[in-house]
A and B are shown apart, each in its own frame.
Chain A
Amino acid sequence: MKAALNVLLKGLVILVLALLIGGIPSLSWSQNAYKIGGLFAITGPSSFLGEPEKKSMEMVVEEINAKGGIDGHLLEAVIYDTEGDPTKTVLAANKLISKDNVLAIIGPSLTPTTLAIVPVVEKEQVPLISCAAGIKITEPIKPWVFKTAQSDVLAVAAIYQHMQKQNIKKIGVLTVENAFGESGKEQLLAQAGPYGIEIVQAESFGGKDTDMTAQLTKIRSAQPQAIVCWGTNPGPAVIAKNVQQMNIKIPLYQSHGVASPKFLELAGDAAEGIFLPTGKILVTQQLPDTDLQKSVLVKYIEQYEKLYKMPVSGFGGYAYDAMNLLAKALQGSDGNKEKIRDALEKIKGFVGVSGTFNFSPRDHNGLGSDAFVMVQIQKGNWKLLSP
Chain B
Amino acid sequence: MQEFLQYLFSGVTNGAIYAVIALGFTMLYNATGLINFAQGEFVMLGALSMITLWKGLQLPLPAAFLLTVAVVALVGLLLERLAIRTVRKPHPIVLVIITIGASILLRGIAMLVWGKDAHSAPSFSRLAPIEIAGATLLPQSLWILGVVLAIVIGLQIFHRKTMTGKAMEACAISKRAASLLGIPSERMVLLAFALSAGMGSIGGVLIAPITMSSYDMGMMLGLKGFCAAMLGGLGSSWGAVFGGMMLGILEAMAVGFFSSDLRDAVAFFVLLLILYARPSGLLGVKAVQRF
Residue positions of A touching B, CB distance < 8 A: 43, 45, 47-48, 51, 177, 203-206, 208-211, 213-215, 217-218, 221, 233-234, 237-238, 245-247, 262, 265-268
Contact = CB atoms under 8 A, between A and B. Distances in A.
A45 B212 contact: no
Contacts of A47: 116
Given A51-B116, A238-B212, A214 B217 contact: no
Contacts of B9: 213
Contact of B7 (A209, A217, A262, A265): A217
A214 B118 contact: no
A215 B255 CA distance: 7
B138 A218 contact: no
Contacts of A204: 259-261
Contacts of B14: 210-211
A45 B111 CA distance: 11
Given A48-B116, A217-B256, A237-B120, A211 B263 contact: no
Contact of B264 (A43, A206, A213, A215): A206
A211 B141 CA distance: 11
A214 B120 contact: no
Interface in B122-145: 122, 129, 135-136, 138
Contacts of B17: 210
Contacts of A214: 6-7, 10-11, 251-252, 255-256, 260
A267 B117 CA distance: 13
B118 A237 contact: yes
A209 B264 CA distance: 10
A211 B211 contact: yes
B37 to A, nearest CB: 17
Nearest to A51: B116
Interface string B97-123: 000000000000001000011111010
B80 interface: no
11 contacts: A43-B111, A51-B116, A206-B264, A208-B216, A211-B211, A213-B9, A214-B6, A214-B252, A233-B117, A247-B136, A266-B120
A229 to B, nearest CB: 13
Contact of A233 (B3, B212, B251, B252): B212
B261 A246 contact: no
Main DSSP-derived SS at the B contact region: helix
A51 B111 CA distance: 13
Given A206-B263, A218-B3, A266-B118, A211 B216 contact: no
B39 interface: no
B73 interface: no
B211 A245 contact: no
A262 B117 contact: yes
A247 B251 CA distance: 23
A238 B14 CA distance: 13
B147 to A, nearest CB: 16
A3 to B, nearest CB: 26
B220 A208 contact: yes
Contacts of B251: 214
Given A214-B251, A217-B256, 13 more contacts: A48-B117, A203-B260, A206-B263, A208-B216, A210-B17, A210-B211, A211-B211, A214-B6, A214-B260, A217-B7, A233-B212, A237-B118, A245-B136
A193 B168 CA distance: 65
B75 interface: no
B10 A217 contact: yes
B212 A234 contact: yes
A262 B116 CA distance: 11
Interface in B1-55: 2-3, 6-7, 9-11, 13-14, 17
A51 to B, nearest CB: 7
Contacts of B245: none
Contacts of A177: 261
Contact of A246 (B6, B116, B256): B6
A141 B220 CA distance: 38
A177 B10 CA distance: 20
Contacts of A267: 120
A40 B100 CA distance: 27
B6 A211 contact: no
A204 B17 CA distance: 21
B214 interface: yes
Nearest to B115: A47
A212 to B, nearest CB: 8
Contacts of A234: 118, 120, 211-212, 214
Nearest to A204: B260
